[in-house]
Structure 1
Amino acid sequence: MSMQSRLADGEHVVLDLRTHVKALFGAMALFVVLLVAAVALVVLLPESSARGWLLLAGGVVLLVLLVGWVLLPFLRWTTSRYTVTNRRLITRSGIITRTGRDIPLYRINDVSYEMGLTDRLLGCGTLVISDATDKAGVTLHDVPRVEKVQVTLHDLLFTADDGTDDGERPPREPRRGGR
C-alpha cells in the first residue's frame, strides 16, 4: 500500500525520508570482513578428509553472522520511513511487526536537531520533536539534511499558525506561561 493512498483529502507529502545510509556503515564493513573470511576459509583450509565438514561449519557460522548483523540492519533501514505531510508527521518502521506514529502538526511544540562531528561531515543528524501529548516526543536518528528538514517543519508549523493553510485543521491551543 503506497503512502499516497493513506493520505486524507487535501493532504500531500512534503518530505519522504529514510535514515541516512550512515546507519549501514557498520553492516557494510562487516559484510566485507565476512566476505574476506569466506574466501580465506576456502583458500587457506588444507586438503583433508575433514575439509568438507570444516567448510560447512564455517559457512554456517558466516551465514548466521551475515543474516544477523548484515541483512537485518539493511532490512530495518529499508523498512523505516519518516514522512512529513502538510498536516502530520508520520513514522513507520519494522520488518515483521510494523510500528508507526502519526503526530498532527498542530500538536508539535518544538523541533530541534543535534549533529555530532561525524553527522556534520555526512550531512545528517538527529531530529528531536516535542509534541503536546502525554507520550514522549519523537527522536528521529540519522535524518539526512537534518537542518533543512527542521526548517521545512518550522515553515509548515508557522504556516499553520498564521492561518494560511487550507483551514481544515483545528486551531492551535494557546501557549501558557510567560510568553
Structure 2
Amino acid sequence: MKTNSYLQRLLGENEKILLITRQHWLILARNILVEVLLILAIFVASLLLIILMNIAAVIVIPIGFLIMLLPIGSLALDVARWSNSQFILTNRRVIQITGIFNKTTEDSSLEKVNDVRMVQTFLGRLFDYGDIEIMTASELGVNTFRRISKPVEFKTAMLNAKEKLERGDEYHSEDVQREDIPALIANLDLLRKQGIITEEEFNQKKKELLSRL
C-alpha cells in the first residue's frame, strides 16, 4: 500500500496500515464545479470577443489567460485539499489527516472505541459514500468522518481490527520478527495493566512469544 512519508512518521512500532480512504470523488466534483464553469465561460467569452467583435487575439488571449488563473488556482487548491485529507485505519487506531502545508492529525485508539455509527443517504448508498461516527471513551467523545468513500468497507475493517486487537491476534502472527518480540511483550503488558487482557492471557501470550526467540 502506497503511503507518504508524513504518514509513515506517524506510525508506531509494529503499527501497520490496513486501509486508507478519502472523501468521495463526488465531494471533490461538487467543490470544483464552479471553477470549471468559470474557466469554460472565460474561454468561450474570449473566443466570442475574437470572432464576433474582431478584437485582436494578441490582446484577448493574454487578458483571458490572466483572468482564468484565478479559477484555475482555486481549482488546484480544492484538489490539493481533497488529496491531502485522508482517513487511515491501522491495526491499533483510526487516523484523520487534513491540511496541505500545515497538517492536522486526529486519531482514536481502537481500544477506546465504544461504538461505530454509519449514516448513508439514498445517494450515499447509490454512489458508495457516507458518514462514519466513531464514539470513544476519550474526551473528544465522537470523531466523525464525513462523506468518506466506501464507508461499509471502512466500518467493517475497523470493527474487525478492534476485535483482533482485543483478542491479541497480532501477537500470534507467524510473521513476527525476533527483534519485534520485546516490543510486543511490552505492548501486552500495557494491555494487561489496562485490564484489556487478563494476567493468565498475558502470561500465555508472553510464553508463546518467548518460545520464538
TM-score, with length taken from structure 1:
0.81
Letter of the structure 1 residue corresponding to residue 7 of structure 2: M
% identity of equivalent residues: 22
> Any idea what SS the aligned residue of 1:19 has?
coil
CA distance in 1, matches of 2:10, 2:161: 20
2:19 alignment partner in structure 1: 15
Contact 1:42–1:55 under 8 Å retained in 2: no
Query: How far did residue 53 of structure 1 move?
Result: 7.1
Q: Equivalent of 1:132, from 129, 137, 141?
A: 137
Tell me which structure has the larger Cα radius of gyration.
2
Q: Let me know the Cα RMSD of the aligned residues.
A: 2.6
> Any idea what SS the aligned residue of 2:191 has?
coil
Summarize the alignment of residues 1-179 of structure 1 with structure 2, pairs less than 5 Å apart.
1=5, 3-45=7-49, 46-48=53-55, 52=59, 56=63, 58-68=64-74, 70-166=75-171, 168=187, 170=191
Encode CA deviations 1:13-62: one digit per residue, 9 max, x unaligned: 1111122211111244334423321221221112348x937962x54443
Query: How far did residue 152 of structure 1 move?
Result: 1.3
| Larger RCO, structures 1/2 (Cα 8 Å, 6+ apart) | 1
TM-score, with length taken from structure 2:
0.69
Number of aligned positions between the proteins = 171
Letter of the structure 2 residue corresponding to residue 63 of structure 1: L
CA distance in 1, matches of 2:9, 2:105: 16
Letter of the structure 1 residue corresponding to residue 27 of structure 2: A
CA distance in 2, matches of 1:91, 1:28: 23
> Any idea what SS the aligned residue of 1:170 has?
helix
Higher helix share: 2
CA distance in 2, matches of 1:66, 1:37: 13
